[in-house]
């Protein structure tokens, strides 16, 4: 029986491998669309399978008296199943986040810092959460790599313990301090709230508990205004920046970001000055501000 299967694979290697490799490509692309990044392991397995496929097209090769097509078929199947699992996980995460966003009132979205699933496991951090570290010159998406510990109710937790603590608690208020390796401390007060739809639990959100609903609405309006203003500045077709005295930071349009080689379009003074030449710093120091 085994010999018949082996013989079938060898005789039909192209008929079998082409659909598997094509399906794996689709899985990789769909996973990327849901996660905005590719699985390195899945990509390596696919690359090995594809390279082996190209080799057996050129020449029949045997390794330890075993046809190379069998090894390629095994790697191709492994790549397919691994990427299927990665795709399923990414789709679950994407659908969970989408269902939470749809179920929530639009005026609170700007103050949500984390989305959690029904078991209180982290799904995603939001832009509002990353904005907590705006004055800290680091890779915001990998903020936890710079973290020393988290303080909750005067108890210290490492990053994994922090996530476990969130998943073990029900709805409540949190007074949190993120303490980084350089002793930079970010305090925040969050409230964990259930999100339901027709009585069905969809998950949880961690929301800024300091602001009232009226303040949240005001912040939503301000965010919408800033979004429209940013679009307008981009339409002017020139690299532009201005200083926001209320928020105490520089605002850059897309062309200016591209010119400076950065992604963030809102920069604290200290971070912006690091990007400037000495001549520009002198000119900026001598500027006159008219109100």
Does residue 170 share a domain with residue 258? no
Whether residue 291 is contained in a domain is answered as no
Cα gap 6→247, rounded to integer Å: 68
In contact, 68 and 49? CB cutoff 8 Å? no
Does residue 205 share a domain with residue 114? yes
Stretches in the chain below the pLDDT threshold 50: 212-213, 290-291
| 25-60 tens-digit pLDDT | 777 777 776 566 667 777 788 788 888 777 767 676
Does residue 189 share a domain with residue 121? yes
Q: CA distances (Å), 73 to each of 7, 12, 14, 55, in order?
A: 12, 11, 10, 13
Question: Last residue of a domain, which of 210, 227, 253?
Answer: 210
Question: Last residue of a domain, which of 102, 130, 162?
Answer: 102
Does residue 116 share a domain with residue 79? no
Closest residue by Cα to residue 82 from 46, 117, 114, 50: 46
Residue with token string 């608690």: 169
Does residue 239 share a domain with residue 172? no
| 104-128 tens-digit pLDDT | 776 676 788 999 998 889 998 988 8
So what's the pLDDT on residue 291?
Answer: 45
In contact, 141 and 130? CB cutoff 8 Å? yes
In contact, 97 and 124? CB cutoff 8 Å? yes
The two three-digit tokens of residue 229, written as one number: 């203003």
Q: Other C-beta atoms within 10 Å of 160: how many?
A: 9
Residue with token string 């108890």: 155
For the chain, how many residues are written? 291
The residues, any chain, with a CB within 8 Å of residue 40's CB and separated by 6 or more, are none
So what's the pLDDT on residue 262?
Answer: 85
So what's the pLDDT on residue 286?
Answer: 66
So what's the pLDDT on residue 161?
Answer: 93
Q: Count structural domains, the chain.
A: 3
Range of the domain at 75: 2-102
Does residue 200 share a domain with residue 140? yes
Whether residue 170 is contained in a domain is answered as yes
Question: Last residue of a domain, which of 169, 188, 210?
Answer: 210
The two three-digit tokens of residue 147, written as one number: 């973290």
Strand partners, 62: 67
**DSSP secondary structure letter of residue 175:** E
Cα gap 273→282, rounded to integer Å: 11
Does residue 87 share a domain with residue 30? yes
Whether residue 141 is contained in a domain is answered as yes
Whether residue 290 is contained in a domain is answered as no
Does residue 158 share a domain with residue 79? no
Residue with token string 């090995």: 48
């Amino acid at each position: 029986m085994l010999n018949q299967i082996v013989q079938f694979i060898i005789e039909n290697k192209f008929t079998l491998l082409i659909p598997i490799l094509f399906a794996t490509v689709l899985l990789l692309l769909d996973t990327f669309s849901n996660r905005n990044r590719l699985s390195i392991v899945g990509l390596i397995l696919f690359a090995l399978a594809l390279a082996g496929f190209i080799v057996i097209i050129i020449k029949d090769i045997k390794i330890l008296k075993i046809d190379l097509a069998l090894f390629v078929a095994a790697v191709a199947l492994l790549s397919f199943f691994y990427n299927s699992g990665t795709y399923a996980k990414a789709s679950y995460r994407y659908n969970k986040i989408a269902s939470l966003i749809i179920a929530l009132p639009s005026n609170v979205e700007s103050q949500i810092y984390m989305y959690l699933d029904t078991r209180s496991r982290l799904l995603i951090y939001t832009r509002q959460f990353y904005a907590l570290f705006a004055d800290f010159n680091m890779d915001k998406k990998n903020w936890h790599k710079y973290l020393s510990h988290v303080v909750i109710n005067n108890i210290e937790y490492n990053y994994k313990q922090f996530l476990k603590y969130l998943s073990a608690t029900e709805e409540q208020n949190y007074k949190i301090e993120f303490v980084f390796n350089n002793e930079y401390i970010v305090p925040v007060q969050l409230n964990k709230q259930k999100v339901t739809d027709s009585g069905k639990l969809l998950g949880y959100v961690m929301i800024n508990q300091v602001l009232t609903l009226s303040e949240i609405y005001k912040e939503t309006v301000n965010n919408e205004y800033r979004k429209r203003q940013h679009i307008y500045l981009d339409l002017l077709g020139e690299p532009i920046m201005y200083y926001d005295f209320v928020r105490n930071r520089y605002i850059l349009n897309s062309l200016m970001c591209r010119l400076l080689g950065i992604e963030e379009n809102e920069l604290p003074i200290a971070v912006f000055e690091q990007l400037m030449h000495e001549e520009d710093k002198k000119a900026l120091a001598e500027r006159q501000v008219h109100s």
